[in-house]
Structure 1
Amino acid sequence: MSIQNLDGNGDQQVPGDKRISWLIVLLLVTGALIVLLPLGVVLATSFSAPGSNAVSWQNYRQAWVQGGFLLAFANSTIVALAVTGLQIATSALAGYALARLKFRGRELILLIVLATLVIPFQMLVIPIFLILKWGHLINTYGALILPTAANGFGIFLMRQYFLTIPIELEEAAALDGADRLQILWRVMLPLARPALVTLFLFTFIGEWNDLFKPLVFTTRPELKTVQLALAAFQEQFTNNWSLLMAAVVISTVPVMLLFLVGQREFIRGIATTGIKN
């Protein structure tokens, strides 16, 4: 009598299916190694000491001091948090209005919001620069924060997630006497946590890695961000690969840690948006 192989659900396992599963695992592991190989090279180079095979932290200390990353980290954190907070506020308000409120021109406004997604920021830099100059905001934090305080992607993301939330929850809150803002704050936003985390990660990482705005709208050394500091460091130490890789790791670690912390909510936010039209 032959013994059948059963999986955990009581279904019979076919040898061909097991081979396909192992092949998929092998392909995924190979892909992961290919992706991680450059990161491993960067880390190994950043810890290498000139003329020695020993592991050294001296490159990181030297890169941190000579690159002025303390000030750059402070500026990038201020700008990234401010832009992220403003985008979450504007996206939540506009997304809720487009998802739930009935008013004339709603579909047209949604189309305009979506149209902004195909317009590169670089095409708008001249009018934005003139507006900032008119408002005396050049070489201020305002020049780094206000141009991206609202974003079409965030508005669309929040609208799509709000559409997945049952409207009966809002109706129950309205029967209890809650107004629109109270419903948004006490009912919708707590339920939209995955979308909020997704928007936070997208926005914060994008602002942290942004070089264009600081390069165009600021010239004061006191306002240099991480990417400006990294670019200046690269020009200064072009041939010192150990120091350069240490500086790259320093500038990358914060966003990598942030993504690892919020990756579960990030995946949920991406997976659950776009279900409804």
Structure 2
Amino acid sequence: MNQSLANSKRSPLVSSLLLNKLLIFCLLIVGAIIVLFPLGIVLVTSFSTPQSTNEAITLDNYREAWTRGKFLLAFANSTLVALAVTAGQIITSALAGYALARLKFWGREGILLLVLATLVIPFQLLVIPIFVILKWGHLINSYWALILPTTANGFGIFLMRQYFASIPIELEEAATIDGANRWQILTRIMLPLSRPALITLFLFTFIGEWNDLFKPLVFTTRPELRTVQLALSEFQEQFTNNWSLLMAAVVIATVPVLTLFLIGQKQFIQGIGTTGIKN
């Protein structure tokens, strides 16, 4: 009798939970359709052919866009710049983040506030002093002009600081007892345990640099320094009315970062989800 009564009370609750899950699932499906629909249009258009041909789907648009846009050199430049900036940010963020998370020194909280304050300053506001410094150092129209201005970043420092703070300090104390110094603790314990945060920082930085148009447009004029986004912008000016070629060029420029994100999305989600555990 009591079991039947309990089951009768549980039944509406289970039904309500299933209904909520179904509603959430439907909302997610609708959201995915809204997000993916424009991407689908881009992809379909990139494979379309002129009406004068009989082919339904062709790769000719990609071959022509790749050749006319000179994307091989642009890909090489963007990859070099993105990897160099990413390496610089990982190094500076790991060192500064560890210092702010673990070292005790006067003014630590103030420095952290200054780091956070840099997040609200757009890069465009700093372009004039950065340009003057690069010109003074004779770095305009060089790879250094694309790499040095963003080698350190407040977001990366804060991200690594938060992740380091979430790691139990007992691990460091045990390593100290075994004779490890600060550098050994950082490189052999903290960094291996911070893999999700490092992958998150890598994805954020690499994708941001790959998609950056501002720095190549302001700091370079030499054709041999053209990046993917600059090549795509110039390609758009040349083929304004040829939508098939334009969409093919967009897909070419997007595939590398999309593939990179899909490979590292699990670690990316884990890194984002664990950076706010401790203050």
TM range (shorter): over 0.9
Matches within 5 A, 1:165-204: 165-204=167-206
**Residue in 2 aligned with 1:120?**
122
**Residue in 2 aligned with 1:130?**
132
Which amino acid is 2:89 matched to? Q
Q: Structure 2: how far apart are the matches of 1:159 and 1:22?
A: 39
Residue of 245, 248, 251 corresponding to 2:250: 248
Deviations 1:42-71 (A, max 9, x none): 000000011146100000000000000000
Deviations 1:156-206 (A, max 9, x none): 000000000011111111111111111100000000000000000000000
Deviations 1:19-51 (A, max 9, x none): 222111111101101110001000000000111
**Residue in 1 aligned with 2:211?**
209
Q: Structure 1: how far apart are the matches of 2:121 and 2:23?
A: 42
Which amino acid is 1:210 matched to? D
Larger deviation, residues 228-237 vs 49-58: 49-58
State the Cα distance separating 1:16 from its structure 2 match: 2.5
1:49 is paired with a residue whose SS is: coil
State the Cα distance separating 1:146 from its structure 2 match: 0.1
| Structure 1 length-normalised TM | 0.95
Q: Structure 1: how far apart are the matches of 2:203 and 2:74?
A: 20
**Residue in 2 aligned with 1:101?**
103
Is 1:259 equivalent to 2:258 in the alignment? no
**Residue in 1 aligned with 2:19?**
19
Residue of 228, 234, 237 corresponding to 1:235: 237
Q: Counting helix residues as a fraction of each chain, which structure ranks higher?
A: 2
State the Cα distance separating 1:3 from its structure 2 match: 8.7
**Residue in 1 aligned with 2:151?**
149
Larger deviation, residues 78-87 vs 11-20: 11-20
2:196 is paired with a residue whose SS is: helix
Q: Structure 1: how far apart are the matches of 2:228 and 2:239?
A: 16
Q: Structure 2: how far apart are the matches of 1:82 and 1:237?
A: 32
2:56 is paired with a residue whose SS is: strand
Q: Structure 2: how far apart are the matches of 1:36 and 1:262?
A: 20
**Residue in 2 aligned with 1:31?**
31
State the Cα distance separating 1:275 from its structure 2 match: 1.0
Q: Structure 2: how far apart are the matches of 1:78 and 1:3?
A: 68
Larger deviation, residues 69-78 vs 18-27: 18-27
| Structure 2 length-normalised TM | 0.95
Q: Structure 1: how far apart are the matches of 2:21 and 2:66?
A: 46
Structure 1 residue ranges, 4+ long, deviating more than 4 angstroms after superposition: 1-4
Deviations 1:233-261 (A, max 9, x none): 00000000000000000000000000000
Matches within 5 A, 1:42-57: 42-51=42-51, 52=54, 54-57=56-59
Identity of aligned residues (%): 75
Q: Structure 1: how far apart are the matches of 2:38 and 2:59?
A: 20
Unaligned runs of 5+ in 2: none
Unaligned runs of 5+ in 1: none
Aligned length: 272
Q: Structure 1: how far apart are the matches of 2:30 and 2:4?
A: 34
Which amino acid is 1:133 matched to? K
